[in-house]
C-alpha cells in the first residue's frame, strides 16, 4: 500500500520546526499507518531568496517553478509552511490549476490573531514578518475582512532576521535585531496601556522565541502574548488523537534542497530541532542537495 505522502515547503530552514512537530505528532497518531514526509527547501539561490528579488513578477515566476518541482513528488498534501510563500501562492499560475490539497500557514496565523483580537476588544496586534510578507499584507487584509479595525494592527518588517536566525538563533546579533524591530513597532503603538499580541509570522522566528520574549518585556508594560502560527499548523496536521498501545507508525522523512547549507547552519538548526524530533534533526544532517530540484 502506497504511504500517505506529505510535502512541507519553506524558503529556508524555518519550516523544519513545523516538520519536526508533525513528525513527532504522526508518531503518536493512529492513521495513516505509513507516511512519507518530504521537506522541500524552496529557496532558489545560494545568496538570495524571494525578499531579494526586485519585482513581484520575478517572485511569482520562481515560486511557480518551485511548485512544479514539488508536484513531481506527487504529494497527497502540500503544506506551505512559509508566510512569504503563502502570501505569494494565490497569485501563482500553479494555484489556479492545482489539484493537490494545499494548506497555507497564513490562514492559521490569521485565525489565531482574529480569535484573540475578538476576545480582547482593547488589544493591539503586532505582525512580525519578512519584508515580502509585510509588503503583501495578507494577514492584515484578511483580519480587516473579518471585521478587525486597521488601527488595531501594526505590521513590522524584519529584514535579515530569518538569515540571522539560521546562522545562530541565540546569537547576540539576532537578539539586537529582534530588540530593534520590537522597538520600532513599540514606537508606532498608540498611547495608553492595552493588551499586546505579538504574532511571529515567519516560521524562523520561533527558533528565537527567547529573544522576542526579552525584547517584548523590555519595550512593553505587562506581559505581551506571543502567537506562533507554527504551533497552530502543526496541531492541525497532528491533532494528537493517538492512544497508548497503538501500532507504531512508519515515517519516511527526507529533506531536499536546491542550495547548499553550510555545516554551521545545519549544526545550529539541527540542535534546535533535536529536543522536538531527533528524526528531523538527523534528516537535516543527511539532507539531499539537488541543484536541479526546480
Q: Is 93 helix (H, G, I), strand (E, B) or coil?
A: helix
Q: Does residue 31 register a pLDDT over 80?
A: no
More confident residue, 28 or 265: 265
pLDDT at 48: 77
CA separation, residue 251 to residues 169, 192, 254, 279 (Å): 28, 51, 10, 9
| CB distance 255 to 41 below 8 Å | yes
pLDDT in tens, 234-252: 999 986 554 444 456 788 9
pLDDT at 205: 97
The count of residues in the chain is 294
φ, ψ dihedrals at 14, nearest 5°: -65, -45
Residue 154, C-alpha cell as written in the block? 501594526
More confident residue, 191 or 123: 123
* pLDDT band, residue 29 (cuts 50/70/90): low
Q: What is the DSSP letter of 37?
A: E
Average confidence (pLDDT) over 161-165: 94
Q: Does residue 30 register a pLDDT over 80?
A: no
Q: Does residue 211 register a pLDDT over 60?
A: yes
State the average pLDDT for the chain.
92
Its pTM stands at 0.90
Please name the residue ranges forming H helices in 14-76. 16-28, 56-71
Average confidence (pLDDT) over 272-283: 96
Domains of the chain, CATH where assigned: 4-104+232-289 (3.40.50.1860), 106-229 (3.40.50.1860)
Average confidence (pLDDT) over 20-27: 89
More confident residue, 27 or 216: 216
Dump strand ranges (E) for 11-160.
Answer: 34-41, 77-80, 102-104, 124-129, 153-157
d(CA 56, CA 25): 36
Q: Does residue 120 register a pLDDT over 70?
A: yes
Amino acid at each position: 500500500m502506497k504511504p500517505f505522502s506529505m510535502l512541507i515547503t519553506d524558503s529556508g530552514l524555518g519550516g523544519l520546526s513545523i516538520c519536526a512537530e508533525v513528525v513527532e505528532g504522526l508518531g503518536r497518531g493512529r492513521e495513516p499507518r505509513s507516511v512519507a514526509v518530504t521537506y522541500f527547501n524552496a529557496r532558489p539561490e545560494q545568496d538570495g531568496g524571494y525578499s531579494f528579488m526586485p519585482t513581484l513578477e520575478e517572485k511569482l515566476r520562481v515560486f511557480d517553478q518551485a511548485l512544479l518541482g514539488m508536484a513531481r513528488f506527487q504529494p497527497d498534501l502540500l503544506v506551505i509552511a512559509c508566510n512569504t510563500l503563502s502570501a505569494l501562492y494565490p497569485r501563482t499560475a500553479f494555484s489556479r490549476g492545482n489539484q493537490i490539497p494545499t494548506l497555507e500557514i497564513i490562514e492559521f496565523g490569521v485565525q489565531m490573531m482574529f480569535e484573540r483580537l475578538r476576545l480582547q476588544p482593547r488589544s493591539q496586534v503586532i505582525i512580525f514578518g519578512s519584508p515580502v510578507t509585510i509588503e503583501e499584507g495578507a494577514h492584515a487584509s484578511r483580519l480587516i475582512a473579518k471585521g478587525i479595525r486597521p488601527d488595531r494592527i501594526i505590521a513590522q518588517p524584519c529584514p535579515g532576521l530569518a538569515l540571522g536566525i539560521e546562522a545562530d538563533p541565540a546569537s547576540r546579533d539576532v537578539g539586537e535585531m529582534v530588540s530593534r524591530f520590537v522597538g520600532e513597532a513599540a514606537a508606532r503603538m498608540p498611547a495608553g496601556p492595552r493588551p499586546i499580541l505579538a504574532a511571529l509570522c515567519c516560521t524562523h522566528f520561533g527558533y528565537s522565541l527567547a529573544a522576542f520574549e526579552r525584547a517584548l518585556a523590555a519595550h512593553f508594560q505587562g506581559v505581551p502574548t506571543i502567537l506562533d502560527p507554527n504551533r497552530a499548523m502543526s496541531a492541525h496536521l497532528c491533532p494528537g488523537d493517538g492512544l497508548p498501545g497503538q501500532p507504531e507508525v512508519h515515517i519516511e522523512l527526507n529533506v531536499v534542497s536546491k542550495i547548499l547549507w553550510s555545516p554551521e547552519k545545519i549544526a545550529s538548526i539541527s540542535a534546535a530541532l533535536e529536543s522536538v524530533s531527533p528524526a528531523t534533526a538527523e534528516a537535516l544532517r543527511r539532507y539531499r542537495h539537488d541543484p536541479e530540484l526546480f
